Amino acid sequence: MAAASEHHSLFVRAKLVQMFDALERVDGTPIEAAAFHSFAFFVNVLSPLWDLHPFEGSVLKEHGSPFFPAVQRELDALIGDRLVKVTDLSLSTSSTGDEPKLVASFTLERSKCVELLASIRALPDERQSEGFLLELADAFVSIRPELRDDVAVVDAAYSDPSIAEGRIVDFAEWVSSTNDNASWRVAQEFQRFAPDNVSLSRAEKLVMYMRLMKRRVHG
């Protein structure tokens, strides 16, 4: 059990490094913690478009944007290992009178990740994963920076009105990562509106889905 837990931790840590790499390559870093968790949410719910399995299959639905404890735990570990660095710390105040909270922004310590990224890319399945993350990161950063932490709130799976706050949004943990994943289903629906002789690629479906999220969150 301990070995399996350690293996999962290393897998998530490697995935986070890939995510930071993709964001950096499209000028998406530094990125605030809440926005990074939002990006992680889309990485998970849209992975099946690329025939990839999410590294987290569910998330607790809370007031505000999604938060993954495993992501935060491994992000803290990457900071401790000096593979990710904190670029900014500030206090954020709320118009609702909530207590101020500490907001951190992060970026990749690229010079210390060159060999790690090369090792990841050498793995057979990770080249496909890299392409997916780049497509998603490019679409994600088209959303205004101040809205990136909120965009996951309007996602088809997370905003499902049948799932109350305090309940689990399960999109791949105990259910099918495709047919039971509302985000995947919506992305697939775009094919219905394409001309009869046009078959949308997975990249086109991903971009169209993220454009829908952008329109919703931009209001």
Q: Is residue 103 in a domain?
A: no
Q: Is residue 135 in a domain?
A: yes
pLDDT at 200: 96
How many other CB atoms sit within 10 Å of the CB of residue 80?
9
Q: Is residue 77 in a domain?
A: yes
pLDDT at 138: 98
What are the pLDDT digits (tens) for 7-47?
Answer: 788 889 999 999 999 999 999 999 999 999 999 999 999 99
Q: Is residue 114 in a domain?
A: yes
Share of the chain above pLDDT 70, in %: 95
Whether the predicted pLDDT of 96 surpasses 90: no
What are the pLDDT digits (tens) for 134-169?
Answer: 999 999 999 999 999 999 999 999 999 999 999 999
Contacts of 13 (CB under 8 A, 6+ apart): 74, 77, 78
Name the residue with tokens 């499902």: 160
Q: What is the pTM of this model?
A: 0.93
Tokens describing residue 78? 């990457």
Q: List the one residue out of 132, 140, 182, 165 whose CA is nearest residue 66.
A: 165
pLDDT at 97: 61
Overall residue count recorded for the chain in this entry: 219
Amino acid, res. 197: N
Domain count, the chain: 1
Whether the predicted pLDDT of 99 surpasses 80: no
**Domain span including residue 198:** 2-83+109-218
Q: Is residue 94 in a domain?
A: no
Q: How confident is the model at residue 93 (pLDDT cuts 50, 70, 90)?
A: low
Alpha carbons 195 and 186: distance in angstroms, whole number: 18
> Average pLDDT in the 54-82 region?
94
